[in-house]
């Protein structure tokens, strides 16, 4: 018999929960107040606590924090009314294992308890590490303040079953972040299964996620377990989640609610114990507004958000990452590099890095393969970085404002031009420096894109378009 602690102040609900749990073979200790619940907790140290967030004598959030301070491996399932979902999400971010919104069905209730007990027993059995930056550095490199916030968020969700939603530009390391969440959790010994939703044709994605049986469709020559089944006991990472077909989004939502999967061609579903982490380089709320992503699925997935900052916002991290990666690549390629020249460090700090960390790693690999140190110098860098360096020296470099550019403009080149001609020169040069993107140029010039479109249309009509 496994002992659970139930804290629910409504007598009728307490009786219902007790009946369901005992009917499933669980030993339950109940309390109606926070004080009584804390007293029982200190005595029995349960693996799992079922906690109503609305208690008469104290905040359920505060009580949960006390539990986790006393016994960090305890899995707390918070229970709250449907109108208090924000409180449940906040509890998940503070370390709750799972949340249940009233009313919920018996199957959902027992499944949450079963998963929490399984993960709790595994955690107490192996006494999982409480990771610090040292463990995270094995995958992430960087000590900037923005990355410290990312590390803190990863550690805060390590004991939870909460779905993690990672956002960030392409190349910022979203899969590395997902692996870090997995490796610092109680599921670290289980599988980590990544699936790129944008790289698989929509007609095959359902089979990739949920599996299929032999003969269920043309080409299904053998039974195939889907990623959700392979990830049983571990973590399923759904990258580029916003690329998922709307019909499959419906099935994913059902899976999240029931933990049941039904392979294509299978007569009935079966249950798996999987934690979901997803990621996208798009704005998920914008995808919801455009009707490309289900709103109910968004709120089910967007429990613990983690945003990875672009490399250009990480300060000195770019040099730190470059030096660590340079050392690794030099070992792999048998080269004698041991650092970056001061000029290269300065350039790296000032580049915009549109491809983020992925671009930086490609640059360093290029340098190491074609050169042999001992320092990375400017002449070793690929040609595209030299073009970027030239743009940085230009008064109309990407990201520069007109005010920032003024000290670099020589009047000799502008003398004799009308104010309208100077305006057109500035606008067209800024658009050109941003790859022809009018919206990007508008942000730099601090005007609306419609203003630039209108001016260019006017110039085209008068034959003065310099684009």
**Model confidence pLDDT, tens digit, residues 395-406:** 545 455 444 444
Domains held by the chain: number: 4
Domain assignment present for 466: no
Cβ atoms of residues 256 and 224 within 8 Å = no
Please tell me the predicted confidence (pLDDT) of residue 112: 87
Residues 111, 229 within the same domain: no
Q: Of 63, 43, 44, 41, give the one whose Cα is nearest residue 52.
A: 63
Please tell me the predicted confidence (pLDDT) of residue 410: 52
**Model confidence pLDDT, tens digit, residues 155-172:** 888 778 889 999 999 999
The answer, yes or no, to whether residue 190 has pLDDT greater than 70, is yes
Cα distance from N-terminal residue to C-terminal residue, the chain: 77
Per-residue pLDDT averaged across 102-118, rounded?
Answer: 85
Q: Of 97, 139, 94, give the one whose Cα is nearest residue 116.
A: 97
The answer, yes or no, to whether residue 136 has pLDDT greater than 50, is no
Query: Among the three residues 307, 325, 358, which one is the final residue of a domain in this structure?
Result: 307
Residues 355, 410 within the same domain: no
The whole-angstrom separation of Cα 131 and Cα 333 is 32
More confident residue, 123 or 190: 190
The upper half-sphere exposure of residue 62, i.e. CA atoms within 13 Å in the direction of its Cβ, equals 9
Residues 6+ apart with CB under 8 A from 263: 207, 210, 211, 212, 213, 216, 223, 224, 225, 226, 229
372: domain CATH number? 1.10.8.60
The whole-angstrom separation of Cα 226 and Cα 208 is 5
Domain assignment present for 25: yes
The answer, yes or no, to whether residue 226 has pLDDT greater than 60, is yes
Mean pLDDT (the chain) is 85
Residues 250, 384 within the same domain: no
Q: What is the DSSP letter of 243?
A: G
Residues 227, 363 within the same domain: no
Cβ atoms of residues 140 and 173 within 8 Å = yes
Pull the structure tokens for residue 338: 């041991």
pLDDT band at 407 (very low <50, low <70, confident <90, very high): very low
Kindly report which listed range (26-35, 319-328, 376-385, 444-453) carries the lowest average pLDDT score: 444-453
Residues 279, 363 within the same domain: no
pLDDT band at 91 (very low <50, low <70, confident <90, very high): confident
Pull the structure tokens for residue 365: 């690999």
Residues 179, 294 within the same domain: yes
**Model confidence pLDDT, tens digit, residues 331-345:** 999 999 989 999 999
Tell me the residue range of the domain where 121 lies: 3-126
**Model confidence pLDDT, tens digit, residues 359-391:** 999 999 999 999 987 999 999 998 888 777 777
Q: Which helix (H) or strand (E) holds 77?
A: strand 75-81
**Model confidence pLDDT, tens digit, residues 239-256:** 999 999 898 999 999 898
Residues 246, 154 within the same domain: yes
Per-residue pLDDT averaged across 410-414, rounded?
Answer: 56
The answer, yes or no, to whether residue 144 has pLDDT greater than 50, is yes
Report DSSP letters for 136-152, one per residue.
HHTT-----HHHHHHHH
Please tell me the predicted confidence (pLDDT) of residue 231: 94
Residues 283, 406 within the same domain: no
Please tell me the predicted confidence (pLDDT) of residue 132: 42
Per-residue pLDDT averaged across 207-230, rounded?
Answer: 88
Cβ atoms of residues 395 and 430 within 8 Å = no
């Amino acid at each position: 018999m496994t002992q659970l602690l139930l804290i629910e102040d409504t007598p009728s609900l307490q009786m219902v929960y007790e009946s369901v749990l005992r009917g499933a073979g669980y030993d339950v200790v109940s309390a109606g107040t926070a004080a009584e619940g804390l007293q029982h907790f200190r005595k029995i140290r349960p693996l799992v606590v079922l906690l109503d967030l609305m208690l008469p004598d104290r905040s359920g959030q505060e009580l949960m924090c006390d539990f986790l301070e006393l016994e960090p491996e305890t899995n707390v399932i918070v229970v709250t009314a449907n109108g208090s979902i924000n409180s449940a999400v906040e509890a998940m971010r503070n370390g709750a294992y799972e949340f249940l919104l009233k009313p919920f069905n018996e199957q959902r209730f027992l499944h949450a308890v079963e998963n929490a007990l399984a993960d709790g027993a595994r955690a107490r059995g192996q006494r999982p590490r409480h990771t610090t930056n040292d463990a995270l550095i094995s995958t992430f490199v960087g000590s900037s303040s923005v990355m410290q916030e990312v590390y803190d968020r990863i550690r805060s969700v390590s004991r939870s079953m909460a779905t993690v939603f990672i956002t960030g530009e392409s190349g910022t390391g979203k899969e590395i972040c997902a692996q870090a969440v997995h490796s610092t959790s109680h599921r670290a010994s289980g599988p980590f299964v990544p699936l790129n939703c944008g790289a698989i044709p929509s007609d095959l994605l359902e089979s990739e996620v949920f599996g299929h049986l032999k003969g269920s469709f043309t080409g299904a020559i053998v039974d195939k377990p889907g990623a959700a089944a392979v990830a049983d006991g571990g973590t399923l990472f759904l990258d580029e989640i916003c690329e998922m077909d709307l019909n499959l989004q419906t099935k994913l939502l059902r899976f999240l609610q029931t933990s049941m999967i039904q392979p294509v061609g299978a007569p009935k579903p079966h249950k798996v114990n999987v934690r979901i982490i997803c990621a996208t380089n798009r704005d998920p709320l914008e995808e919801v507004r455009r009707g490309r992503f289900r709103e109910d699925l968004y709120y089910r997935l967007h429990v613990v958000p983690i945003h990875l900052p672009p490399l250009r916002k990480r300060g000195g991290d770019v040099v730190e990452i470059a030096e660590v990666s340079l050392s690794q690549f030099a070992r792999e390629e048998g080269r004698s590099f041991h650092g970056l020249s001061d000029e290269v460090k300065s350039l790296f700090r000032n580049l915009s890095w549109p491809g983020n960390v992925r671009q930086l790693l490609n640059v360093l690999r290029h340098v190491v393969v074609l050169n042999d140190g001992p320092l990375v110098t400017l002449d070793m860098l690929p040609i595209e970085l030299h073009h970027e360096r030239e743009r940085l020296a230009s008064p109309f470099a990407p990201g520069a404002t007109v005010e920032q550019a003024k000290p670099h403009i020589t009047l000799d080149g502008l003398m004799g031009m009308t104010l309208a001609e100077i305006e057109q020169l500035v606008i067209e040069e800024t658009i050109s420096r941003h790859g022809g993107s009018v919206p990007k140029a508008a942000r730099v010039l601090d005007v609306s894109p419609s203003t630039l479109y209108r001016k260019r249309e006017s110039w085209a009509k008068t034959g003065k378009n310099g684009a």
